[in-house]
Amino acid sequence: WHNSMEEILRKTVAPFPSYEMRDKSPPPPESNSLEFMHFYKSLEKEQKLEFLEKLSYDFGVDHRWASDLAAKLLDTQGRDVATILQVEDRLRYSLTPRYRELFTHISRVQGGVKFLVDLRADLIELASSKITDSPHMRDLNSTLKSLLSEWFSVGLLQLERITWQSPCEILQKISQYEAVHPVRNWTDIKRRVGPYRRCYAFTHASMPGEPLVVLHVALTEDIANNIQGIVREFSTLDTDEDVNKINAAIFYSISSTQAGLQGVELGNYLIKRVVRELQSEFPHMAQFSSLSPIPGFSLWLQGALGQHKKEGRAIELLSEQEWREVEDVTGAAPGAPAVEALRRLISTSEWIRSDRLIRALEPALMRLCAWYLYGEKRRGYALNPVANFHLQNGATMWRLNWQADTSPRGIANSCGIMVNYRYFLQETSPNSAAYLQNKVIKASEQVMGLVSQFQKSSKL
């Protein structure tokens, strides 16, 4: 297997043309790319790792060539600028990994781009499962990502609106890919593309019929605070839309479908593109917001309760009064057991069956959730991935909504709370820059109020 791997690589990865011949050498035969693709697809997972490591190591940058040219560039300082530009261009050429040419050739054959997207998905999976993190593999990944970012830039993407008249195979894919609020049956998908709804996808000529990222939008009178009203309501399916009832666009689900395009920011571009599309259809529309789940809050809360119990500080997460309510309802003796009782109530979602607990826990859960979204960080950015996504896009953490998702999943994941990330169109680029560069989160007064309540009550 080793020499067949060597054999294939030597045969299909074309040698690097010399600088002088760089524009004069004919591209390698397509059969090379097809053979490379065929061979790679036939490999098992661990063989792919070995193959990719060899590709990244033996077919990357010729380091000696690059360092010789770097030394030469130093020698030409002080010479005329034409000479310096000449040597810089040679150095730039020498810094191109050999496999970058291979990828460019592969992208020109039928199915080549899709092959490279899937190859990057393998690279991401290998890197994320820590199976490998060699610097050469990181270079391979970033070279491939930069090529894909060029090929999948917005100008080359096609915006498609999905309707009930779209081909079945597209509707079937849209249903399959829906990652946020699963589509259960034909009625579900018919509603998602019916009146007061829009469904858009980006497609690319190299992957016809494949939605790369899908955005589901609800057209409402004002910014929605409940998801059941969007995905469950039996709004009569064949009513016509009354424009006077449409003032806001609610993004209630977005999913990217190609793991290999992670980091290419398709979702961000799709949201901005759809906003422009809706503005041309509804010139008076001025409210654009997500209605987003908060995956991970419930688990974080159970962890926080457990953590505080160990340090004997659980009482700070709830006020005296709130703990007393928990004790009354659960019959737990005063003190530690109330923490355990609350943890169990949250982990089993049982609390949702007691109106008294719902009322008693609302202020506590809302301020804890505000802190989870605004205060909990990972490398300085929002810990919650959905928050991080919308904040990177420049959205404002605008409103937390109690009892926004009363489905079992909604209660279990985030105690039923959902959040609106609002897109104030004039502010998204400064907000995005402030977040990405200085990790500043733009939040509304409601959110900041809840956060300061949390900070006061728990003296964190």
Ligand X SMILES: CC(C)(COP(=O)(O)OP(=O)(O)O)[C@@H](O)C(=O)NCCC(N)=O
Q: Could you say which of 76, 206, 235, 262 contacts ligand X (CB under 6 A)?
A: 262
Measured from the CB of residue 180, what is the shortest distance to ligand X in angstroms?
5
Write the interaction track for ligand X spanning residues 176-195; mark x where CB under 6 A is met and - where it is not: ---xx---------------
- For the bound state, the minimum distance from the C-beta of residue 342 to ligand X, rounded and expressed in Å, comes to 28
Of 276, 283, 234, 229, which is closest to residue 252 (Cα–Cα)? 229
- Write out the binding residues for ligand X, residues 267-286 only, by CB under 6 A: 267-268
User: Can residue 395 be called a binding residue for ligand X (CB under 6 A)?
Assistant: no
Q: Is residue 362 within 8 Å of residue 394, measured between CB atoms?
A: no
283 C-beta neighbours (distance < 10 Å), count: 8
User: Looking at beta carbons only, is 132 or 262 nearer to ligand X?
Assistant: 262
Residue 227 or 264 having the CB closest to ligand X: 264
Decide if 354 is catalytic: no
Which of 114, 104, 10, 16 shows the shortest CA–CA distance to 55?
10
- Reference 454, options 363, 338, 357; nearest CA is 363
**By the 8 A CB rule, do 388 and 382 touch?**
yes
The DSSP annotation for 357-406 comes to HHHHHHHHHHHHHHHHHHT-EETTEESSHHHHHHHHTT-EEEEEETTS--
**Is 175 a residue that touches ligand X (CB under 6 A)?**
no
Taken in order 266, 171, 117, 147, the sign of the CA dihedral is negative
Helix (H) or strand (E) segment spanning residue 49: helix 45-58
Residues in region 192-251 near ligand X by CB under 6 A: 213
Is residue 256 involved in binding ligand X (CB under 6 A)? Answer: yes
Q: Which two tokens stand for residue 87?
A: 């040597």
Closest distance between ligand X and the C-beta of residue 124, in Å? 10
Among 148, 254, 391, 397, binds ligand X (CB under 6 A): 254
Q: Which stretch binds ligand X (CB under 6 A): 61-69, 257-265, 272-280, 438-446?
A: 257-265
Question: In terms of CB distance, is 262 or 403 closer to ligand X?
Answer: 262
Q: Is residue 343 within 8 Å of 306, Cβ to Cβ?
A: yes
The active-site residue, picked from 33, 94, 253, 292, is 292
Q: Check binding of 330 to ligand X (CB under 6 A).
A: no
For residues 216 and 271, what is the distance between their CA atoms, to the nearest angstrom?
10
Q: How far apart are CA 303 and CA 308, in angstroms?
A: 8
Least CB distance from residue 294 to ligand X, whole Å?
11
Site string for ligand X, 362-391 (x = CB under 6 A): ------------------------x--x--
Please say if 292 is a catalytic residue: yes
Residues that bind ligand X (CB under 6 A): 179-180, 213, 254-256, 262-268, 386, 389
* Catalytic positions, written as ranges: 292, 390
